[in-house]
């Protein structure tokens, strides 16, 4: 991205979106720091003081901005028309695998980001960020659930994604074969869990309802 892609008077949100991928690139060397922000701002020709305001020296804000940019790039690479042609399992696999492809060039920055997110003071914020990404992936996959199922799906995907990242950042196998195999196994778990939930819902439909039974006694058809 270049400065020409920004508005003449960009907002701080627009600056964050523009800078986040560059900060991740520099974070491998400078860490998630003001130095990474300043180097990235220089590449875009932005005033370093204005760039600093966008993140306020907060490493978690920088990490959050980068993950936001990954979410946006994921939606660009996998639009609805592409995902809708796949089975649900393949959609989830494609979404997670594509996320890893997007983050692959910045794997060292990802490792450092995960260390920051794992700090006790960042737990709540990191959990919200992970939930947001899981929610966006399910929505891209076409999920429209609004009941309890909405929450279980996102919780499960967040866990799968987090555990896969832990394997990914340390994977030295050819073409990340170990990560791919791990991801396939975890997605199998997700699909089995969804199948069990569907069976449980189907069984509940045939469970006699005491309230309906009493209602029929009082008000026979």
pLDDT single digits (tens) 30-72: 999 999 999 999 999 999 999 999 998 899 999 999 999 999 9
Angle CA 126–17–143, to nearest 5: 60
Angle CA 82–106–38, to nearest 5: 120
Domain carrying residue 66:
58-205
Instruction: Flag whether 30 is in a domain.
Output: no
pLDDT level of residue 197 (50, 70, 90 thresholds): low
What is the number of structural domains in the chain?
Answer: 1
Instruction: Flag whether 147 is in a domain.
Output: yes
Alpha carbon 135 to its chain centroid, in Å, reads: 7
What CATH number should be reported for the domain holding residue 140? Answer: 1.10.357
Instruction: Flag whether 154 is in a domain.
Output: yes
pLDDT at 25: 95
Instruction: Flag whether 22 is in a domain.
Output: no
The three-state secondary structure class of 8 is: coil
Full-model pTM? 0.83
Instruction: Flag whether 155 is in a domain.
Output: yes
């Amino acid at each position: 991205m270049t400065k020409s892609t920004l508005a003449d008077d960009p907002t701080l949100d627009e600056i964050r979106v523009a800078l986040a991928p560059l900060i991740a690139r520099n974070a491998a060397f400078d860490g998630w720091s003001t130095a990474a922000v300043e180097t990235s701002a220089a590449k875009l020709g932005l005033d370093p003081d204005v760039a600093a305001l966008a993140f306020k020296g907060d490493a978690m804000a920088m990490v959050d901005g980068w993950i936001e940019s990954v979410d946006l790039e994921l939606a660009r690479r996998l639009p609805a028309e592409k995902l809708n042609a796949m089975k649900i399992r393949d959609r989830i696999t494609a979404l997670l695998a594509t996320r890893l492809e997007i983050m692959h060039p910045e794997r060292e920055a990802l490792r450092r980001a995960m260390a920051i997110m794992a700090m006790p003071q960042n737990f709540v914020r990191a959990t919200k960020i992970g939930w947001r990404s899981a929610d966006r992936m399910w929505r891209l996959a076409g999920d429209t659930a609004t009941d309890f199922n909405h929450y279980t799906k996102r919780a499960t995907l967040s866990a799968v994604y987090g555990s896969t990242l832990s394997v990914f950042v340390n994977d030295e196998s050819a073409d990340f074969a170990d990560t791919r195999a791990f991801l396939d196994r975890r997605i199998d778990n997700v699909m089995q869990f969804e199948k069990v939930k569907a069976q449980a819902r189907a069984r509940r439909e045939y469970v006699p309802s005491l309230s309906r039974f009493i209602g029929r006694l009082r008000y026979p058809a």
